């Protein structure tokens, strides 16, 4: 049997906070419990959002926590490059395959056109109905009637011609398939969504030339042989569209485990405003890594009480079935509590 390959894939848009550290910890625990390989991938797709120095700081923060990895931007490996900003040729190859399979189309609709659809779909929190986690979106899905009719056989060759005098003024969308998508999440159980009805066709390359997260994550997970994806529950509703994309590209789907969110003292998702909840701030306040690891494990349901623990102490008993599904609200004075 081939070894499990997990990945940790932060976006370098700010300093690492307690929520991302918790995701990293669980990703690491599961991979190490299975004797697998941990890949570190930098999701620096969107240059304006990249904050210089945060990728290096994240590597340092994880090492401080006591986590290690086997492949990544610093270590190299057989599946590089490990920074998405250097992986354009992989994304172009995937777009070409989707175009050849008739699953891609150019979308020249303006922002104004899209606004006539009331609001663009945005994901809602999951709801459980009769033991099934339903994933839904608010807003109007991209109308199938807006797909261009009668595209010429070589439209994509002309579209992606590097010698063209002007870049094409269009986004590229993935034509989603009709019907329910179902999968089993290691934490949230059976999950379902009708992607066509809830979300509609998905942008894979933006009009300004940037590749979309939905494309890059799928292409990279496939190319890097990722068999297990651990990430926040805010991405649970993205999973069905990613599964459709994986199927269209002909790859095996990884196993998914989504983690409940960590909220600040006001009950909101952690953001840049919660500067005191970054690993750097906690470290500067004198919090030790094992106190934080123990607290994170407690918040997940892996320990009955918050006790200082090295990550390695938690490997033996790790099991996704023990993780709670409820979001975790941090106390205002987390640093003081952990000293
Ligand atoms: N880059 C995303 C983040 O930092 C994670 C994407 C994923 O795990 O699929 O939240």
pLDDT single digits (tens) 181-237: 999 999 999 999 999 999 999 999 999 999 999 999 999 999 999 999 999 999 999
Question: In angstroms, what CA-CA distances link 76 with 58, 73, 206, 223, 230?
Answer: 17, 6, 29, 15, 21
As a whole number of angstroms, the distance between CA 198 and CA 179 comes to 11
Looking at ligand 1, which atom is closest to the CA of residue 221?
Answer: 9
In order of 143, 170, 205, 238, 248, the CA distances from 215 in angstroms are 20, 16, 8, 11, 12
Helix (H, G, I), strand (E, B) or coil at 134: strand
Predicted pLDDT of residue 118: 59
**Pocket flag, ligand 1, residue 242 (CB < 6 Å):** no
Atom of ligand 1 nearest to the CA of 238: 9
Q: How far is CA 295 from CA 40, 258, 339, in A?
A: 23, 19, 11
Helix then strand then coil, % of the chain, to nearest 5:
35, 20, 45
The pick from 8, 61, 82, 213 for probing ligand 1's pocket by mutation, whose C-beta has the most ligand atoms within 8 angstroms, reads 213
What number is the average pLDDT over the span 151-180? 88
96-135 pLDDT, tens digit per residue, is 999 999 999 999 887 777 777 656 678 888 999 889 999 9
| Backbone phi and psi for residue 37, each to the nearest 5 degrees, phi listed first | -115, 135
Measure the CA–CA gap between 304 and 102, rounded to whole angstroms. 52
Nearest CA to ligand 1 atom 4: 10
Q: How far is the CA of 119 from the centre of ligand 1 (A)?
A: 24
**Distance linking the first and last C-alpha atoms of the chain:** 44
Q: How far is the CA of 162 from the centre of ligand 1 (A)?
A: 30
Of 70, 24, 44, which Cα lies nearest the Cα of 224?
Answer: 70
pTM: 0.94
20 alpha carbon to ligand 1 midpoint, in Å? Answer: 9
Beta-strand runs (E) in 113-227: 122-123, 127-129, 132-134, 137-138, 171-174, 180-185, 189-194, 202-205
The tokens for 172 are 């590229």
Q: Which domains, ranges and CATH numbers included, belong to the chain?
A: 5-85+260-338 (3.40.50.620), 87-259 (3.40.50.620)
104 strand-pairing partners:
174
Cα angle for residues 276, 320, 317 (degrees, 5° grid): 90
Indicate whether residue 291 lines ligand 1 (CB < 6 A): no
Could you tell me which of 281, 302, 280, 283 has the C-alpha nearest to residue 291?
Answer: 283
Give the confidence band of 161 by pLDDT, cuts at 50, 70, 90.
confident
Q: Which of 5, 10, 253 to mutate to test the pocket of ligand 1 (most atoms within 8 A of CB)?
A: 10
Residue identifier of the C-alpha nearest atom 8 of ligand 1:
231
Local structure of residue 88 (DSSP, 8 states): H
The span from the CA of 10 to the CA of 56, in Å, is: 11
- State in Å: Cα 125 to ligand 1 middle: 17
Active site residues: 272
pLDDT tens digit string along 255-269? 999 999 999 988 998
- Ligand 1 nearest-atom number relative to CA 10: 4
d(CA 237, CA 124): 8
Atom of ligand 1 nearest to the CA of 13: 4
9 pocket-lining for ligand 1 (C-beta < 6 Å): yes
């Amino acid at each position: 049997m081939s070894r499990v390959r997990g990945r940790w894939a932060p976006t370098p848009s700010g300093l690492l906070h307690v929520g991302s550290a918790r995701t990293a910890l669980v990703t690491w625990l599961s991979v190490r419990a299975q004797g697998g390989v941990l890949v570190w991938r930098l999701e620096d797709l969107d240059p304006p959002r990249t904050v210089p120095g945060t990728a290096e700081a994240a590597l340092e923060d994880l090492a401080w926590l006591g986590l290690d990895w086997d492949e990544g931007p610093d270590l190299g490996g057989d599946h590089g490059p490990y920074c998405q900003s250097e992986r354009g040729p992989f994304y172009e190859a995937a777009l070409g395959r989707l175009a050849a399979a008739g699953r891609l189309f150019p979308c020249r609709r303006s922002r104004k056109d899209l606004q006539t659809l009331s609001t663009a779909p945005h994901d809602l929190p999951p709801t459980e109905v009769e033991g099934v986690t339903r994933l839904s979106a608010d807003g109007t899905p991209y109308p199938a009637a807006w797909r261009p009719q009668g595209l010429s056989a070589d439209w994509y060759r002309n579209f992606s011609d590097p010698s063209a005098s002007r870049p094409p003024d269009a986004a590229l969308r993935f034509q989603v398939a009709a019907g329910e998508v179902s999968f089993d999440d290691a934490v949230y159980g059976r999950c379902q969504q009708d992607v066509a009805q809830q979300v509609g066709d998905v942008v894979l390359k933006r009009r300004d030339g940037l590749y979309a997260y939905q494309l890059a994550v799928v292409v990279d997970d496939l190319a890097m042989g990722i068999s297990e994806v651990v990430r926040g529950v805010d991405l649970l509703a993205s999973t069905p569209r990613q599964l459709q994309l994986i199927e269209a590209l002909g790859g095996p789907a990884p196993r998914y485990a989504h983690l409940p969110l960590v909220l600040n003292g006001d009950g909101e998702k952690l953001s840049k405003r919660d500067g005191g909840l970054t690993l750097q701030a906690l470290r500067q306040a004198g919090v030790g890594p094992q106190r934080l690891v123990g607290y994170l494990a407690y918040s997940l349901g892996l320990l009955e009480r918050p006790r200082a623990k090295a990550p390695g102490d938690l490997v033996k008993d790790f099991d996704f079935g023990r993780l709670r599904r409820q979001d975790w609200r941090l106390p205002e004075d987390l640093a003081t509590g952990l000293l």
